[in-house]
Amino acid sequence: MTHLDSEVKEERLRDDLKFYFMNPCEKYRARHQIPWKLGLQILKIVMVTTQLVRFGLGNQLVVTFKEENIVSFKHLFLKGYSGVDEDDYSCSIYTEEDAYESIFFTINQYHRLKNISLAPLDYGENEEKRIGLKICKQYYKKGTTFSSNESLTIDSDVEIGCVHLDLQALLNGPEDWKQLPFFKLEFYRLLQVEISFHLKGIDLQAIQSRELPDCYVFRNKITFDNKAHSGKIKIYFDSDANIEECRALNISGSIQKNTQYVLLFDASVIAICLASLILCTRSIVLALRLRKRLENFFLEKYKRRVCDVDQWEFISGWYVLVIISDLMTIIGSILKMEITVKNLTNYDLCSILLGTSTLFVWIGVIRYLGYFQAYNVLILTMQASLPKVLRFCACAGMIYLGYTFCGWIVLGPYHEKYPGFPLKCCFFP
Protein backbone atom coordinates (compact mmCIF):
# COMPACT_ATOMS: atom_id res chain seq x y z
CA MET A 1 0.00 0.00 0.00
CA THR A 2 2.77 2.42 0.92
CA HIS A 3 4.56 1.16 -2.09
CA LEU A 4 1.55 1.93 -4.26
CA ASP A 5 1.13 5.30 -2.54
CA SER A 6 4.79 6.03 -3.16
CA GLU A 7 4.36 5.00 -6.79
CA VAL A 8 1.39 7.34 -7.22
CA LYS A 9 3.38 10.12 -5.53
CA GLU A 10 6.33 9.48 -7.80
CA GLU A 11 4.05 9.51 -10.85
CA ARG A 12 2.52 12.83 -9.76
CA LEU A 13 5.93 14.35 -9.11
CA ARG A 14 7.09 13.21 -12.51
CA ASP A 15 4.02 14.79 -14.11
CA ASP A 16 4.51 18.06 -12.22
CA LEU A 17 8.17 18.17 -13.18
CA LYS A 18 7.40 17.49 -16.83
CA PHE A 19 4.74 20.20 -16.76
CA TYR A 20 7.12 22.62 -15.08
CA PHE A 21 9.66 22.41 -17.88
CA MET A 22 7.06 22.77 -20.67
CA ASN A 23 6.70 25.95 -22.72
CA PRO A 24 3.40 27.91 -22.68
CA CYS A 25 2.19 26.24 -25.86
CA GLU A 26 2.70 22.72 -24.54
CA LYS A 27 1.19 23.67 -21.16
CA TYR A 28 -1.95 24.81 -22.93
CA ARG A 29 -2.16 21.52 -24.83
CA ALA A 30 -1.42 19.45 -21.72
CA ARG A 31 -3.71 20.98 -19.08
CA HIS A 32 -5.54 23.72 -21.03
CA GLN A 33 -3.84 26.29 -18.83
CA ILE A 34 -4.23 29.70 -20.44
CA PRO A 35 -0.81 31.52 -20.57
CA TRP A 36 -1.74 34.56 -18.47
CA LYS A 37 1.88 35.45 -17.79
CA LEU A 38 2.73 35.45 -21.50
CA GLY A 39 -0.22 37.74 -22.30
CA LEU A 40 0.72 40.04 -19.45
CA GLN A 41 4.31 40.29 -20.68
CA ILE A 42 3.17 41.24 -24.19
CA LEU A 43 0.82 43.90 -22.78
CA LYS A 44 3.65 45.14 -20.56
CA ILE A 45 6.06 45.49 -23.48
CA VAL A 46 3.57 47.65 -25.35
CA MET A 47 2.76 49.86 -22.37
CA VAL A 48 6.30 50.24 -21.05
CA THR A 49 7.60 51.15 -24.51
CA THR A 50 4.80 53.68 -25.04
CA GLN A 51 5.56 55.23 -21.67
CA LEU A 52 9.28 55.38 -22.43
CA VAL A 53 8.80 56.98 -25.85
CA ARG A 54 6.43 59.61 -24.42
CA PHE A 55 8.81 60.35 -21.55
CA GLY A 56 11.77 60.46 -23.93
CA LEU A 57 10.06 62.94 -26.23
CA GLY A 58 9.21 65.17 -23.26
CA ASN A 59 12.72 64.83 -21.87
CA GLN A 60 14.20 65.78 -25.22
CA LEU A 61 12.27 69.05 -25.20
CA VAL A 62 13.86 69.90 -21.86
CA VAL A 63 17.35 69.06 -23.09
CA THR A 64 16.88 70.93 -26.37
CA PHE A 65 15.70 74.00 -24.47
CA LYS A 66 18.81 73.96 -22.27
CA GLU A 67 21.14 73.48 -25.24
CA GLU A 68 19.57 76.20 -27.34
CA ASN A 69 19.81 78.61 -24.42
CA ILE A 70 23.51 77.86 -24.03
CA VAL A 71 24.10 78.43 -27.75
CA SER A 72 22.26 81.75 -27.44
CA PHE A 73 24.39 82.75 -24.44
CA LYS A 74 27.56 81.98 -26.39
CA HIS A 75 26.40 84.20 -29.24
CA LEU A 76 25.42 86.97 -26.83
CA PHE A 77 28.38 86.99 -24.46
CA LEU A 78 31.41 85.79 -26.45
CA LYS A 79 32.94 88.27 -28.87
CA GLY A 80 33.58 86.77 -32.28
CA TYR A 81 31.94 83.44 -31.48
CA SER A 82 31.72 81.59 -34.78
CA GLY A 83 28.80 79.31 -33.93
CA VAL A 84 31.00 76.24 -33.62
CA ASP A 85 33.19 75.39 -30.64
CA GLU A 86 36.88 74.92 -31.27
CA ASP A 87 37.93 71.70 -29.54
CA ASP A 88 36.60 71.77 -25.94
CA TYR A 89 36.70 75.54 -25.62
CA SER A 90 34.46 78.00 -27.42
CA CYS A 91 36.96 80.39 -28.93
CA SER A 92 40.50 81.62 -28.47
CA ILE A 93 42.33 84.96 -28.52
CA TYR A 94 45.93 85.84 -29.21
CA THR A 95 46.51 89.53 -28.43
CA GLU A 96 46.20 91.74 -25.36
CA GLU A 97 43.78 94.03 -27.16
CA ASP A 98 41.46 91.13 -27.99
CA ALA A 99 41.61 89.96 -24.39
CA TYR A 100 40.47 93.32 -23.00
CA GLU A 101 37.82 93.69 -25.69
CA SER A 102 36.40 90.23 -25.06
CA ILE A 103 36.10 90.85 -21.33
CA PHE A 104 34.54 94.29 -21.76
CA PHE A 105 32.19 92.94 -24.45
CA THR A 106 30.83 90.34 -22.03
CA ILE A 107 30.26 92.96 -19.33
CA ASN A 108 28.53 95.34 -21.72
CA GLN A 109 26.34 92.63 -23.18
CA TYR A 110 25.32 91.63 -19.65
CA HIS A 111 24.07 95.07 -18.78
CA ARG A 112 22.30 95.50 -22.14
CA LEU A 113 20.82 92.00 -21.85
CA LYS A 114 17.17 93.09 -21.54
CA ASN A 115 17.43 95.08 -24.77
CA ILE A 116 19.14 92.49 -26.90
CA SER A 117 18.00 89.06 -25.76
CA LEU A 118 15.18 87.34 -27.60
CA ALA A 119 14.41 84.98 -24.70
CA PRO A 120 12.35 85.90 -21.61
CA LEU A 121 15.47 86.14 -19.45
CA ASP A 122 15.91 87.93 -16.14
CA TYR A 123 18.94 88.64 -13.99
CA GLY A 124 19.28 86.14 -11.16
CA GLU A 125 20.82 86.45 -7.71
CA ASN A 126 24.16 84.74 -7.28
CA GLU A 127 25.35 82.75 -4.25
CA GLU A 128 25.95 85.96 -2.33
CA LYS A 129 22.39 87.19 -2.99
CA ARG A 130 23.67 89.99 -5.21
CA ILE A 131 22.50 90.69 -8.74
CA GLY A 132 25.40 91.42 -11.01
CA LEU A 133 28.63 90.10 -12.39
CA LYS A 134 31.31 88.48 -10.31
CA ILE A 135 34.72 88.72 -11.95
CA CYS A 136 37.63 86.82 -10.47
CA LYS A 137 41.20 86.59 -11.58
CA GLN A 138 43.91 84.14 -10.53
CA TYR A 139 47.50 85.26 -10.75
CA TYR A 140 50.96 84.49 -9.39
CA LYS A 141 51.50 86.49 -6.25
CA LYS A 142 54.12 88.88 -7.52
CA GLY A 143 56.59 89.19 -10.29
CA THR A 144 58.46 91.70 -12.37
CA THR A 145 58.30 91.81 -16.12
CA PHE A 146 60.46 89.81 -18.42
CA SER A 147 62.77 92.14 -20.33
CA SER A 148 66.01 91.53 -22.19
CA ASN A 149 68.25 92.90 -19.44
CA GLU A 150 66.16 91.94 -16.44
CA SER A 151 65.43 88.55 -14.99
CA LEU A 152 61.93 87.15 -14.49
CA THR A 153 60.85 87.02 -10.88
CA ILE A 154 57.81 84.95 -10.09
CA ASP A 155 56.26 83.93 -6.78
CA SER A 156 54.71 80.53 -7.41
CA ASP A 157 51.88 81.06 -4.91
CA VAL A 158 48.57 81.79 -6.58
CA GLU A 159 46.30 84.59 -5.44
CA ILE A 160 42.67 85.14 -6.33
CA GLY A 161 41.15 88.59 -6.60
CA CYS A 162 37.48 89.25 -7.22
CA VAL A 163 35.34 92.25 -8.05
CA HIS A 164 31.55 92.58 -8.07
CA LEU A 165 29.92 94.71 -10.71
CA ASP A 166 26.38 95.25 -9.43
CA LEU A 167 23.73 95.50 -12.10
CA GLN A 168 22.41 98.78 -10.72
CA ALA A 169 25.82 100.41 -10.99
CA LEU A 170 26.16 99.12 -14.57
CA LEU A 171 22.74 100.40 -15.58
CA ASN A 172 23.07 103.87 -14.05
CA GLY A 173 26.58 105.14 -14.40
CA PRO A 174 29.03 105.43 -17.28
CA GLU A 175 31.72 102.87 -17.96
CA ASP A 176 33.67 103.83 -14.83
CA TRP A 177 34.41 100.22 -14.06
CA LYS A 178 36.87 100.09 -16.94
CA GLN A 179 39.17 102.31 -14.88
CA LEU A 180 39.26 99.84 -11.97
CA PRO A 181 42.80 98.72 -11.08
CA PHE A 182 41.37 95.20 -11.18
CA PHE A 183 41.16 95.41 -14.97
CA LYS A 184 44.87 96.12 -15.23
CA LEU A 185 45.80 92.58 -16.22
CA GLU A 186 49.47 91.63 -16.20
CA PHE A 187 49.27 88.74 -18.60
CA TYR A 188 52.70 87.31 -17.80
CA ARG A 189 51.50 86.41 -14.33
CA LEU A 190 47.77 86.08 -14.99
CA LEU A 191 46.43 82.53 -14.73
CA GLN A 192 42.78 82.98 -15.54
CA VAL A 193 39.85 85.40 -15.47
CA GLU A 194 36.41 84.10 -14.56
CA ILE A 195 33.21 86.03 -15.17
CA SER A 196 30.19 84.46 -13.53
CA PHE A 197 26.58 85.55 -13.40
CA HIS A 198 23.18 83.97 -12.90
CA LEU A 199 20.24 84.29 -15.26
CA LYS A 200 16.64 83.20 -14.83
CA GLY A 201 14.70 81.71 -17.71
CA ILE A 202 11.36 80.06 -18.35
CA ASP A 203 10.49 77.22 -20.73
CA LEU A 204 7.36 78.82 -22.20
CA GLN A 205 7.17 76.13 -24.88
CA ALA A 206 5.54 73.78 -22.37
CA ILE A 207 2.42 75.96 -22.41
CA GLN A 208 1.70 74.84 -25.94
CA SER A 209 1.60 71.17 -24.93
CA ARG A 210 -0.82 72.16 -22.16
CA GLU A 211 1.66 71.65 -19.36
CA LEU A 212 2.93 73.93 -16.62
CA PRO A 213 6.24 75.51 -17.68
CA ASP A 214 9.48 74.89 -15.77
CA CYS A 215 11.59 77.76 -14.50
CA TYR A 216 15.35 77.64 -14.88
CA VAL A 217 18.36 79.19 -13.23
CA PHE A 218 21.39 79.33 -15.52
CA ARG A 219 24.68 79.58 -13.61
CA ASN A 220 26.94 80.90 -16.35
CA LYS A 221 30.70 81.08 -16.08
CA ILE A 222 33.02 82.41 -18.73
CA THR A 223 36.65 81.41 -18.20
CA PHE A 224 39.58 83.10 -19.94
CA ASP A 225 42.23 80.44 -19.43
CA ASN A 226 45.85 81.61 -19.59
CA LYS A 227 47.28 78.81 -17.47
CA ALA A 228 49.45 77.49 -20.30
CA HIS A 229 51.08 80.93 -20.83
CA SER A 230 51.51 79.97 -24.47
CA GLY A 231 50.16 83.19 -25.94
CA LYS A 232 46.76 81.64 -26.58
CA ILE A 233 43.93 82.36 -24.16
CA LYS A 234 41.16 79.78 -24.43
CA ILE A 235 37.66 80.97 -23.64
CA TYR A 236 35.39 78.42 -22.00
CA PHE A 237 31.68 78.92 -21.53
CA ASP A 238 30.07 76.77 -18.85
CA SER A 239 26.39 76.93 -18.11
CA ASP A 240 24.76 74.94 -15.36
CA ALA A 241 21.00 74.88 -15.86
CA ASN A 242 18.82 73.97 -12.87
CA ILE A 243 15.07 73.62 -12.79
CA GLU A 244 13.59 75.60 -9.93
CA GLU A 245 10.13 76.41 -8.69
CA CYS A 246 8.40 79.15 -10.69
CA ARG A 247 7.41 81.56 -7.92
CA ALA A 248 5.91 84.59 -9.55
CA LEU A 249 4.38 82.86 -12.53
CA ASN A 250 0.83 83.61 -13.46
CA ILE A 251 -0.65 81.66 -16.33
CA SER A 252 -4.21 82.24 -17.39
CA GLY A 253 -6.12 80.68 -20.25
CA SER A 254 -6.88 77.05 -20.98
CA ILE A 255 -4.10 74.95 -19.49
CA GLN A 256 -3.40 71.83 -17.45
CA LYS A 257 -5.88 69.58 -19.11
CA ASN A 258 -4.16 66.40 -20.15
CA THR A 259 -2.01 65.90 -17.07
CA GLN A 260 -4.58 63.57 -15.53
CA TYR A 261 -4.54 61.26 -18.56
CA VAL A 262 -0.78 60.95 -18.29
CA LEU A 263 -1.06 60.14 -14.60
CA LEU A 264 -3.76 57.56 -15.32
CA PHE A 265 -1.57 55.88 -17.91
CA ASP A 266 1.39 55.78 -15.53
CA ALA A 267 -0.85 54.29 -12.83
CA SER A 268 -2.00 51.54 -15.16
CA VAL A 269 1.64 50.75 -16.03
CA ILE A 270 2.33 50.39 -12.31
CA ALA A 271 -0.71 48.13 -11.91
CA ILE A 272 0.39 45.82 -14.74
CA CYS A 273 3.94 45.67 -13.43
CA LEU A 274 2.62 44.80 -9.98
CA ALA A 275 0.53 41.99 -11.45
CA SER A 276 3.53 40.69 -13.40
CA LEU A 277 5.66 40.97 -10.25
CA ILE A 278 3.16 38.93 -8.22
CA LEU A 279 2.75 36.23 -10.89
CA CYS A 280 6.51 35.81 -11.29
CA THR A 281 7.09 35.68 -7.54
CA ARG A 282 4.36 33.04 -7.31
CA SER A 283 6.05 31.02 -10.07
CA ILE A 284 9.35 31.10 -8.23
CA VAL A 285 7.67 30.10 -4.96
CA LEU A 286 5.92 27.20 -6.70
CA ALA A 287 9.19 26.15 -8.31
CA LEU A 288 10.98 26.16 -4.97
CA ARG A 289 8.18 24.09 -3.44
CA LEU A 290 8.51 21.59 -6.32
CA ARG A 291 12.24 21.44 -5.72
CA LYS A 292 11.61 20.72 -2.03
CA ARG A 293 9.34 17.82 -3.02
CA LEU A 294 11.96 16.50 -5.41
CA GLU A 295 14.65 16.71 -2.75
CA ASN A 296 12.50 14.87 -0.22
CA PHE A 297 11.69 12.23 -2.81
CA PHE A 298 15.37 11.73 -3.61
CA LEU A 299 16.26 11.48 0.07
CA GLU A 300 13.48 8.97 0.62
CA LYS A 301 14.03 6.84 -2.42
CA TYR A 302 17.75 7.05 -3.30
CA LYS A 303 19.01 8.29 0.10
CA ARG A 304 21.02 11.08 -1.57
CA ARG A 305 20.76 14.82 -2.37
CA VAL A 306 19.92 16.27 -5.75
CA CYS A 307 23.08 17.62 -7.38
CA ASP A 308 23.65 21.37 -7.30
CA VAL A 309 23.34 22.03 -11.01
CA ASP A 310 19.93 20.44 -11.13
CA GLN A 311 18.80 22.48 -8.15
CA TRP A 312 19.62 25.71 -9.94
CA GLU A 313 17.46 24.66 -12.88
CA PHE A 314 14.47 25.52 -10.71
CA ILE A 315 15.32 29.19 -10.22
CA SER A 316 14.59 30.63 -13.65
CA GLY A 317 16.88 33.55 -14.53
CA TRP A 318 14.13 34.92 -16.72
CA TYR A 319 11.79 35.35 -13.77
CA VAL A 320 14.49 37.16 -11.82
CA LEU A 321 15.02 39.46 -14.81
CA VAL A 322 11.29 40.18 -15.03
CA ILE A 323 11.09 40.89 -11.31
CA ILE A 324 14.01 43.34 -11.39
CA SER A 325 12.58 45.01 -14.48
CA ASP A 326 9.15 45.30 -12.83
CA LEU A 327 10.57 46.85 -9.65
CA MET A 328 12.51 49.40 -11.70
CA THR A 329 9.46 50.27 -13.80
CA ILE A 330 7.33 50.78 -10.70
CA ILE A 331 9.85 53.08 -9.01
CA GLY A 332 10.49 54.89 -12.31
CA SER A 333 6.79 55.41 -12.95
CA ILE A 334 6.23 56.81 -9.48
CA LEU A 335 9.11 59.23 -10.06
CA LYS A 336 7.64 60.17 -13.44
CA MET A 337 4.26 60.95 -11.84
CA GLU A 338 5.97 63.19 -9.31
CA ILE A 339 7.80 64.96 -12.13
CA THR A 340 4.53 65.40 -14.03
CA VAL A 341 2.91 67.20 -11.11
CA LYS A 342 6.12 69.26 -10.66
CA ASN A 343 7.00 67.93 -7.20
CA LEU A 344 10.34 66.65 -8.44
CA THR A 345 12.69 67.60 -11.29
CA ASN A 346 14.87 64.52 -11.16
CA TYR A 347 14.75 63.68 -14.89
CA ASP A 348 18.06 61.78 -14.89
CA LEU A 349 17.33 59.08 -12.33
CA CYS A 350 13.89 58.56 -13.81
CA SER A 351 15.24 58.13 -17.32
CA ILE A 352 17.88 55.63 -16.13
CA LEU A 353 15.24 53.54 -14.32
CA LEU A 354 12.71 53.54 -17.15
CA GLY A 355 15.35 53.04 -19.85
CA THR A 356 17.05 50.09 -18.14
CA SER A 357 13.77 48.41 -17.29
CA THR A 358 12.62 48.69 -20.92
CA LEU A 359 15.91 47.20 -22.06
CA PHE A 360 15.32 44.24 -19.71
CA VAL A 361 11.75 43.79 -20.92
CA TRP A 362 12.92 43.61 -24.53
CA ILE A 363 15.75 41.24 -23.65
CA GLY A 364 13.11 39.08 -21.98
CA VAL A 365 11.64 38.53 -25.43
CA ILE A 366 14.62 36.34 -26.28
CA ARG A 367 13.31 33.77 -23.82
CA TYR A 368 10.35 33.07 -26.05
CA LEU A 369 12.63 32.78 -29.05
CA GLY A 370 14.47 30.02 -27.18
CA TYR A 371 11.40 27.82 -27.72
CA PHE A 372 12.16 27.66 -31.44
CA GLN A 373 14.45 24.74 -32.16
CA ALA A 374 16.67 26.35 -34.83
CA TYR A 375 17.39 29.42 -32.81
CA ASN A 376 18.28 27.34 -29.78
CA VAL A 377 21.03 25.57 -31.72
CA LEU A 378 22.45 28.93 -32.65
CA ILE A 379 22.61 30.05 -29.03
CA LEU A 380 24.26 26.82 -27.91
CA THR A 381 26.90 27.06 -30.63
CA MET A 382 27.69 30.60 -29.62
CA GLN A 383 27.98 29.60 -25.97
CA ALA A 384 30.47 26.88 -26.84
CA SER A 385 32.77 29.06 -28.90
CA LEU A 386 32.69 32.00 -26.47
CA PRO A 387 35.66 31.08 -24.21
CA LYS A 388 38.08 30.69 -27.13
CA VAL A 389 37.03 34.01 -28.58
CA LEU A 390 37.40 35.70 -25.19
CA ARG A 391 40.88 34.27 -24.69
CA PHE A 392 41.96 35.42 -28.12
CA CYS A 393 40.58 38.90 -27.45
CA ALA A 394 42.45 39.06 -24.14
CA CYS A 395 45.73 38.30 -25.90
CA ALA A 396 45.16 40.67 -28.79
CA GLY A 397 44.12 43.31 -26.29
CA MET A 398 47.38 42.88 -24.39
CA ILE A 399 49.52 43.41 -27.48
CA TYR A 400 47.33 46.30 -28.51
CA LEU A 401 47.67 47.92 -25.11
CA GLY A 402 51.44 47.63 -25.26
CA TYR A 403 51.43 48.97 -28.80
CA THR A 404 49.27 51.97 -27.97
CA PHE A 405 51.29 52.83 -24.89
CA CYS A 406 54.46 52.67 -26.91
CA GLY A 407 52.95 54.52 -29.86
CA TRP A 408 51.57 57.24 -27.67
CA ILE A 409 54.92 57.95 -26.07
CA VAL A 410 57.12 57.54 -29.12
CA LEU A 411 54.95 58.76 -31.97
CA GLY A 412 52.31 60.85 -30.20
CA PRO A 413 54.14 64.12 -29.73
CA TYR A 414 55.36 64.32 -33.32
CA HIS A 415 52.23 63.27 -35.09
CA GLU A 416 49.18 65.37 -34.42
CA LYS A 417 46.73 62.73 -35.67
CA TYR A 418 47.79 60.32 -32.91
CA PRO A 419 45.17 60.39 -30.18
CA GLY A 420 45.91 62.16 -26.90
CA PHE A 421 45.66 59.11 -24.73
CA PRO A 422 45.73 55.54 -26.03
CA LEU A 423 42.90 54.24 -23.88
CA LYS A 424 40.69 56.86 -25.47
CA CYS A 425 41.07 55.13 -28.81
CA CYS A 426 40.59 51.73 -27.24
CA PHE A 427 37.26 52.40 -25.69
CA PHE A 428 35.88 55.29 -27.74
CA PRO A 429 37.12 54.62 -31.27
Q: Choose between 35 and 124: whose C-beta lies nearer to its own copies.
A: 124
Q: Choose between 216 and 319: whose C-beta lies nearer to its own copies.
A: 216
Give DSSP secondary structure letters for 280-349: HHHHHHHHHHHHHHHHHHHHHHHSSPPPHHHHHTTS-HHHHHHHHHHHHHHHHHHHHHHHHTTS---HHH
Residue from 32, 208, 245, 307 in contact with its own copies (CB under 8 A): 208
Q: Choose between 93 and 339: whose C-beta lies nearer to its own copies.
A: 93
For residue 310, give Cα distances in angstroms to 11, 27, 291, 305, 315: 19, 21, 9, 10, 10
Residue from 19, 28, 105, 123 in contact with its own copies (CB under 8 A): 123
Contact 123, 199 (CB under 8 A): yes
Number of residues that this document lists for the chain: 429
Phi, psi of 53 (to 5 degrees): -65, -45
Please choose, out of 145-153, 171-179, 277-285, 287-295, the segment that lies near its own copies by the rule CB under 8 A. Answer: 145-153
Residue 254 found at the interface with its own copies (CB under 8 A) = yes
Residue from 247, 302, 303, 429 in contact with its own copies (CB under 8 A): 247
For residue 174, give Cα distances in angstroms to 76, 100, 111, 180, 327: 21, 18, 12, 13, 62
Residue 95 found at the interface with its own copies (CB under 8 A) = yes
Of 420, 255, 243, 232, the residue nearest 343 (C-alpha): 243
Site for its own copies in 3-22 (CB under 8 A): none
Here's the x/- map for its own copies, 333-352, by CB under 8 A: it reads as --------------x---xx
Residue 239 found at the interface with its own copies (CB under 8 A) = no
Please give the Cα distance from 140 to 144 (Å, whole number).
11
Contact 220, 77 (CB under 8 A): yes
Residue 363 found at the interface with its own copies (CB under 8 A) = yes
Site for its own copies in 100-119 (CB under 8 A): 115-119
Closest CB 10 distance from its own copies, rounded Å = 39
Residue from 24, 35, 412, 419 in contact with its own copies (CB under 8 A): 412
The three-state secondary structure class of 200 is strand
Here's the x/- map for its own copies, 364-403, by CB under 8 A: it reads as -xx--x--x-xx--x--------xx--xx-xx--xx-xxx
Q: By rule CB under 8 A, what count of residues binds its own copies?
A: 115
